[in-house]
Each structure stands twice: as structure tokens, then as C-alpha cells.
Amino acid sequence: MNTGLRRSRAFRLAVCLALVPALSGCMQLNLGLTVNPDDTVSGQLLVTADKNLLKSRNPDVQTAFADMRRQLPTLPAGDESRYEDARFYGVQVVYRKKPLSQFTSDSVNLVRVDDRYRFAFPLDPDKYAGKVVETDAGTRRTFVTLMSFEISVTFPGRVLTTNGTVNGRSVSWKVDSNQAKPAELVAEAEAPARASAGATAGPTSSGGGFPWLVVVGGVIVLLLVAVVVVLLLRRPRAARRPTRRTSPRSQHRTAEGGSP
């Protein structure tokens, strides 16, 4: 039974190879990623196959695509949904602020090493068709050759080295179907400095920043003093004037009807 299953998979791959003149490729992979300064990643992955090719393998295109997808290496997980248009069928995966640590799969390797971001996307035939174990190395290379790739990565810092096309802080690669593929797509870019303990201790730390806390505290004290002074000045004069005391002798004269 296992022999029959292997022959079936080999036949399906042979169909893909036989349809080269009519199809743009067995599968298409489109990936766009943006590396955020907080070491998270946002973007989108689209993996599709031509419907005509899928129907030649199985009338149910969903089943045919799932079978073909199993020949691919592991891709980063995200919010996945079905994709379909007039010609292609596949899946769309959306990444929303995913931790950088989740992008170390067999296909996408995006890591931070000190002050550098390093991106690698291998196009090793043994990975991209390694699950078709009954085929020889030449057939696996042909499988990868028939795939097409469009990949772009945008970094928060300057791009340092790459074998792709640089546009500002972005690197892109377009590898067409039925063309020789490089062994790996690579890029390296600057990473922003991580916040240190001293930088988060406050504005009066030894980082040499302006002492805003001291200034604000001084202004508040001065305002309080000014309020107290104003209140004292606005008190009624009678309340501030001392009461005149009458001597006993004057009181006696007044009682007798004389002038004081």
C-alpha cells in the first residue's frame, strides 16, 4: 500500500513537471514582512497554485492544494485564511506584531544578533521537496525551479548586506518560475539599540538628561509660596490692625463725663 501511495505522489509531481509549458509554476510564494523596532514582525504570506494544475491532481482543489503544500517546509504560523481568485487557489497568512522568535522556521529565518537583524530564506531543493522522498535529487531541484518567489523585508534600520534589491530600508527578491534559483536569500540590517536600565530609570538618572523633575518641583514650590503671599495681602486691614487698649485712668474719666 505504501508503494502505491509513493507512486501516486510521484505521478502528481510528474504532472507538475509535464505542465511546465502551460503553467507559470507549480506554486507561487509571496512574502512581505516588516520588522518593527520592538522586535516584532508584521506582514503577509501568500502561497498559491494554479487551479488547472490542482484539478489535474484532484478535482477537489482544496484537497489537491493541501497535498501539494505538504511538500513545502514549515512556514511561520499566523492568522490563516483561504485565498482564491479566477486562476489561483491557496492560503493567506497575516502576521500582526508577532514576536521575532516565531520566525525561525525551516523556510524563514529572521533573527536579531546584538545590533543586527539577519534574514535568510533557503531555496534548498532538499527542503522544498524533501518530503517527496521517492524522487531523486534532480527531480527535487526541478520542483524548486518551477516555483516562483516574491519576497520583501523592511527593517527599522539601514540595510548593510544582501543579495537582493535595496530600496531604502527594504530588501526585495523576485525569483521567477522555471529559472535557476540562488541557494539562499539573505539580508542583514542595523537594529535599534535596546532600552537600557539607565534609560528607563527616569530623567534624573546618570544618563545626562535634563533634570525636568527638579525643575517642575521647584516651580510647584514657588507657586505655593506665591499663593500664600497673595492670601496674606488680601486679608482685611481691620483684621491686621491691632486693637487700641484704653488705660484705666481714661476709663475713669470717661465714666465721670470728662474727656479722656
pLDDT in tens, 141-154: 777 778 889 999 99
In a domain, 175, yes or no: yes
Residue with cell 539573505: 186
Assigned domain for 223 exists: no
Q: Which residue has the cell 520588522?
A: 35
At residue 208, does pLDDT exceed 60? no
For residue 4, the model assigns a pLDDT of 46
Grid cell 497575516 in the structure block, residue: 94
Query: Which residues neighbour 137 within 8 Å (Cβ) at sequence distance 6 or greater?
Result: 125, 126
* Residue 101 in domain: yes
CB-CB contact of 83 with 46 (8 Å): yes
State the pLDDT at residue 82.
Answer: 94
Whether the model clears a pTM of 0.85, i.e. scores above it, the answer is no
Starting at the edge strand found earlier in the chain, the sheet holding 116-122 runs 109-113, 116-122, 184-190, 159-162
Asked whether the predicted pLDDT for residue 206 surpasses 50, the reply is: no
**Quick check: is 131 in a domain?**
yes
* φ/ψ of residue 44, rounded to 5: -150, 145
Confidence of residue 138 (pLDDT cuts 50, 70, 90): low
Alpha helices, H only, the chain: 2-18, 51-57, 61-69, 125-128, 137-146, 212-233, 237-240, 248-256
Computed on alpha carbons and rounded to an integer, the radius of gyration of the chain in Å comes to: 39
Is 86 a member of any domain?
yes
Stretch 190-209: mean pLDDT, rounded?
60
**Residue that wins the pLDDT comparison between 204 and 190:** 190
Domain residues for the domain of 98 are 2-190
- Counting the structural domains of the chain, the total is 1
Burial class (CB in 10 A: 0-12, 13-18, 19+), 151: buried
- The three three-digit cell numbers of residue 43, written as one number: 506582514
- Residues 103-135 have pLDDT tens digits of 988 789 999 999 999 999 988 776 655 455 555
C-alpha 250: how far from chain center: 94
132 in any annotated domain: yes
Q: What angle do CA 11, 90, 60 make, to 5 degrees?
A: 55
Residue 30's H or E segment, with its range, is: strand 28-35
Neighbours of 43 (CB within 10 A): 20
- Asked if residue 23 lies in contact with residue 52, where contact means CB atoms within 8 angstroms, the answer is yes
215 domain residue, yes or no: no
- Return the higher-pLDDT residue of 103 and 69: 103
35: in domain: yes
Residue identified by cell 534609560 is 199
How many whole angstroms separate alpha carbon 22 and alpha carbon 55? 14
Going by C-alpha positions, the residue among 49, 25, 21 that lies closest to residue 146 is: 25
